[in-house]
Structure 1
């Protein structure tokens, strides 16, 4: 029974979406620009500090997944209505990403906050040393980045809430964290060439953002139709 459950977890499209959502979260305007700063500092501080840092933000995301699963268990009697609602949330988040650049400044006040927090996170990184400090900074980043990665993170948490299984929810958030961690570690342990490529990629962020919106909408439609 345990083996069949594990196979179901791996074969479903949700693990793939979770990992993809993690990668897309890295490619957001207030996350990607600060990664070279934080990553290079972490690597200089200690050989294993970048690993400690990604472990820290993974802890934050998995904790959110556990809370979402617990919340989903409470709402599980709603059945298909909960699934349709989660699909609707994903579609709305995708639409928001697509129209974000056309919204008036007062609606986007949270974006300036996310930039401030992103700058703050890089300063915090300059004051924390060691593996324990790396974990602490990672946990902090997991919270600090919420205003920026909210649409994507909110979508995966909606999926987790519908599944309403603590183990499976944790598994999906681990994959989401891996999607963020792998690019981060490549940059942290990479050469100056990797940093230059990040800077070059930054010029394509608007296109990547629109692609993220389309993926969220498609995932929301698919998720809402799942039986």
Structure 2
């Protein structure tokens, strides 16, 4: 059941008010801005973008799973602390609580001259790092569940499923 929840959290992240309005920007990046660029390159670019953020989230899942394995003897305390963190992130996300460093956005302007699979992969990595405050409540919940599994393999699987829930809509 927790695997399905992790996948569904990824889908909810995709349709969150923070990410969904940005969808046209991502699609235009994948498809390219000019008409002379073949449209068949959009799918490979979308897949490598998803692979980029999946890599980062899987590494986080591996860390959470390993750390969870070390903390199983203190499971009750860990549950309370991580639950409070998720609640705080959720309150911040809804606007009921304002934690300024979670709401900061750093933007830079640069023009991409040539879209490559490597640039799409790097864009996915930057996305996973840059949008963490926006998706923090859902990602934090998935990481919390991964840490409760108690093994690196299960933590990786949990965050892989979260990434697929977030990534499949991008690919579609």
TM over 0.5: yes
Q: Could you say which residue in structure 2 is the equivalent of 1:71?
A: 67
**Any residues of structure 2 matched to 1:111-126 within 5 Å, and which?**
111=103, 113-114=104-105, 116-117=106-107, 120=108, 123=109, 126=112
Residues paired across the two proteins, number: 164
1:32 corresponds to 2:20 = yes
Q: Which runs of 5+ in 1 are unaligned?
A: 1-12, 187-227
Structure 1 residue 31, shift from structure 2 partner: 2.1
Task: State the alpha-carbon separation in 2 of the partners of residues 23 and 156 from structure 1.
Answer: 12
What is the SS of the residue equivalent to 1:173? helix
Superposed CA offset, 1:88-109 (max 9, x none): 44344434444x1x446xx445
1:82 positional shift: 2.9
Aligned pairs (5 A) from 1:87-166: 87-98=83-94, 100=95, 102-103=96-97, 107-108=99-100, 110-111=102-103, 113-114=104-105, 116-117=106-107, 120=108, 123=109, 126-127=112-113, 129-166=115-152
Alignment pair present for 1:52 and 2:48: yes
* Structure 2 unaligned regions, length at least 5: none
**Matched residue of 1:62: which SS?**
helix
Structure 1 residue 126, shift from structure 2 partner: 3.3
Give the TM-score, by structure 1 length.
0.63
Q: For residues 103 and 93 of structure 1, what CA distance do their matches in structure 2 show? A: 9
Q: Greater helix percent: which structure?
A: 1
Q: What's the CA shift for 1:19?
A: 1.1
Give 1:141 deviation, angstroms: 0.8
- Asked if the contact 2:93/2:134 (under 8 Å) is kept, the reply is no
In 2: Cα distance, 1:86 partner to 1:162 partner: 10
Report the 3-state secondary structure (helix = DSSP H, G, I; strand = E; otherwise coil) of the residue aligned with 1:28: coil
Alpha-carbon deviation of 1:140?
Answer: 1.1
> How far 1:181 sits from its partner (Å)?
0.9
- Give the alignment's Cα RMSD to 1 decimal: 2.4
TM-score by length of 2: 0.81
